[in-house]
C-alpha cells in the first residue's frame, strides 16, 4: 500500500521572469515500509519533492496524498496536526536546541503537540538510535553523528508513519554516516518504518530499496535494489544529460556515458569546476535549508505559544465571566441586604408606630379612665346635685376622639 502519493505535482517559486520551476508534473508513490532514496543534481528539485510530500510546501499544481489524506483539502491547522502525527523530519544540520539535553530535545515534538513526554517513549527512541546512555548530554557534548542520531530519535518519538530525511549524512564522516544509515535500514527492516531520504551519496542510496532520480524538476527514472556503483553510473549519466539511460531498472548505457567522459581531460577539468560549484551551491542550499528548518521550528513554537496565549486568553475571559457573575451575585446580595434593611426599617417604623399607637392608646386609655373617673365623680356629684350631666359629657368624648 502507498502511504504517500504525488500526482502531477508541480512547484514554482516566484513569478514572472524570476519564476523557478522546482518540480514539473511529478507522479510518484512511496510504499508503506519501504526505504526510498531521492537523487539528482543540485537544484533538480529533491528537497522540494520531499517538502511537498511531507506537507511542508504546498504544490502549485497537482495533488499529494499522505496517509490517506488529500493535503490540498486541509486547512493550515489540520495540515499542521497531520504533520505532527504522521511524519518525522530529519535535516542535514540536526537542528537540536543546544540548551536542552538529548532527552529534552527528543521530547520536544511531544511538548509542542501539547503532550507531556513519556519518559519511556523518549528512552525507547534514544535506545533505537543506540544513545540510551547519553540521555542527559547536551548537543555540544555529542559528536556530529551522535547529534544526528538524537535528531532521528526526536523524529521517531511520535511514531511517525513516514520518516523524511534530507541529506541526513551530508555533514557526517564515513563512519558516522554508516552508523546513521545502518539505523535507518534497521528501522525499515525491524519495524516496517517508511523512509524517504534525499542524498547525494551513492553509498547512502545503496542502503535504500529503490532510488528515484530527478533532473530539472522531472522524474528521470527509478532504480530498484540499488548498489553504489550502479547508482554512481546513473548519476553521472544524468549529469551528462543522458536521461534516457535511467529506466525503472536502470541500463548499462550509463557506464558507457561515464567512460566517454573520462577520455577527455578538458571535460574532466570542466567537470571538476562544475562539481566544485555544485559543492558550493549545495553548501549554500544546506545552510538555507538549515535556516528554513529553524524557521519552521520557531514557527511551530510560535504557533504553540499562540495556542497557549489563546488558551490563557480564554481562561482569563472565563475568569472575567466568573468575576462578573460573583459581582452580580454580590450586587444581588447587597440589594437583598438593602431590601432587608429597608424591611427592617419599615418593621422598626411599624414597631415604633405600633409603640406610638400603644402609647397613645395607653394615654387615651388613662385619659379616658381619668375622665371617666372625673365624669364619674361629676356624675356622682350631679347625682349629688353638683354638675349638669349630659351636655358636658358629650363634649368630653368628642375632644378625645379627635386627639386620637
Ligand X SMILES: Nc1ncnc2c1ncn2[C@@H]1O[C@H](COP(=O)(O)OP(=O)(O)OP(=O)(O)O)[C@@H](O)[C@H]1O
Q: Which is nearer to ligand X, 135 or 196 (CB)?
A: 196
Smallest distance from ligand X to CB 105, Å: 25
Given the rule CB under 6 A, which of 42-50, 81-89, 311-319, 340-348 is the region that contacts ligand X?
42-50
Q: Is residue 169 within the footprint of ligand X (CB under 6 A)?
A: no
388 binds ligand X (CB under 6 A): no
> Which residues lie closer than 8 Å to 187 by C-beta, 6 or more apart?
128, 156, 163, 193, 195
Shortest approach of ligand X to residue 96 CB, angstroms? Answer: 21
**1-20 residues near ligand X, rule: CB under 6 A:** 13-14, 20
User: How many binding residues for ligand X (CB under 6 A)?
Assistant: 15
Q: Which stretch binds ligand X (CB under 6 A): 44-52, 133-141, 264-272, 305-313?
A: 44-52
Closest to ligand X by CB, 28 or 131: 28
Nearer to ligand X, 103 or 285 (CB): 285
Considering the complex, what minimum distance in angstroms separates the CB of residue 133 from ligand X? 34
Minimum CB distance to ligand X, residue 21 (Å): 8
Determine which residue in the list 29, 43, 130, 381 makes contact with ligand X, applying CB under 6 A.
43
Distance in Å, CB of 8 to ligand X, minimum: 17
x/- mask, ligand X, residues 263-302, rule CB under 6 A, reads: ------------------xx--x-----------------
45 touches ligand X (CB under 6 A): yes
Choose between 216 and 371: whose C-beta lies nearer to ligand X. Answer: 216
Q: Quick one: which of 34, 36, 47, 230 contacts ligand X (CB under 6 A)?
A: 47
Which of these ranges, 36-44, 256-264, 294-302, 368-376, lies near ligand X under the rule CB under 6 A? 36-44
- In the complex, what is the shortest distance from the CB of residue 272 to ligand X, in angstroms, rounded to a whole number? 18
- What lies within 8 Å, CB to CB, of 204 at 6+ separation is 37, 169, 177, 181, 197
Which of 139, 168 has the CB closer to ligand X? 168
Choose between 40 and 107: whose C-beta lies nearer to ligand X.
40
Q: Which three cell numbers stand for residue 102?
A: 538529548
Residues of this chain that bind ligand X (CB under 6 A): 13-14, 20, 22, 40, 42-48, 281-282, 285
Amino acid at each position: 500500500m502507498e502511504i504517500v502519493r504525488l500526482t502531477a505535482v508541480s512547484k514554482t517559486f516566484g513569478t514572472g521572469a524570476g519564476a523557478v520551476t522546482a518540480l514539473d508534473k511529478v507522479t510518484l508513490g512511496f510504499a508503506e515500509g519501504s526505504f526510498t532514496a531521492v537523487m539528482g543534481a543540485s537544484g533538480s528539485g529533491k528537497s522540494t519533492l520531499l517538502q511537498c510530500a511531507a506537507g511542508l510546501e504546498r504544490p502549485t499544481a497537482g495533488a499529494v496524498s499522505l496517509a490517506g489524506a488529500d493535503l490540498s483539502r486541509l486547512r493550515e491547522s489540520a495540515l499542521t496536526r497531520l504533520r505532527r502525527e504522521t511524519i518525522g523530519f530529519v535535516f542535514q544540520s540536526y537542528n537540536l536546541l543546544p540548551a536542552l539535553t538529548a532527552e529534552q530535545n527528543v521530547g520536544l515534538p511531544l511538548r509542542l503537540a501539547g503532550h507531556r513526554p513519556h519518559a519511556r517513549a523518549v528512552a525507547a527512541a534514544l535506545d533505537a538510535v543506540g544513545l540510551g546512555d547519553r540521555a542527559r548530554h547536551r548537543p555540544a557534548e555529542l559528536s556530529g553523528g551522535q547529534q544526528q542520531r538524537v535528531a532521528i530519535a526526536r523524529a521517531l518519538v511520535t511514531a511517525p508513519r513516514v520518516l523524511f530525511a534530507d541529506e541526513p549524512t551530508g555533514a557526517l564522516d564515513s563512519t558516522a554516516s554508516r552508523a546513521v544509515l545502518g539505523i535507518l535500514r534497521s528501522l525499515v527492516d525491524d519495524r516496517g518504518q517508511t523512509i524517504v531520504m534525499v542524498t547525494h551519496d551513492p553509498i547512502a542510496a545503496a542502503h535504500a530499496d529503490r532510488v528515484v532520480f530527478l533532473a530539472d524538476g522531472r522524474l528521470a527514472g527509478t532504480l530498484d535494489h540499488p548498489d553504489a556503483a550502479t547508482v554512481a553510473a546513473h548519476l553521472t549519466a544524468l549529469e551528462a544529460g543522458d536521461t534516457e539511460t535511467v529506466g525503472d531498472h536502470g541500463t548499462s548505457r550509463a557506464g558507457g556515458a561515464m567512460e566517454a567522459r573520462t577520455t577527455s581531460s578538458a571535460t574532466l577539468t570542466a567537470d571538476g569546476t562544475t562539481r566544485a560549484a555544485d559543492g558550493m551551491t549545495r553548501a549554500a542550499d544546506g545552510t538555507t535549508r538549515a535556516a528554513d528548518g529553524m524557521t519552521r521550528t520557531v514557527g511551530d513554537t510560535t504557533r504553540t505559544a499562540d495556542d497557549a496565549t489563546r488558551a490563557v486568553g480564554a481562561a482569563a475571559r472565563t475568569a472575567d465571566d466568573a468575576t462578573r457573575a460573583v459581582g452580580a451575585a454580590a450586587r444581588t446580595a447587597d440589594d437583598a441586604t438593602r431590601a432587608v434593611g429597608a424591611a427592617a426599617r419599615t418593621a422598626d417604623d411599624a414597631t415604633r408606630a405600633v409603640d406610638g399607637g400603644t402609647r397613645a392608646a395607653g394615654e387615651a386609655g388613662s385619659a379616658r379612665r381619668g375622665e371617666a373617673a372625673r365624669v364619674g365623680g361629676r356624675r356622682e356629684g350631679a347625682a349629688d346635685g353638683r354638675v349638669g350631666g349630659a351636655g358636658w359629657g358629650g363634649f368630653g368624648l368628642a375632644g378625645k376622639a379627635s386627639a386620637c
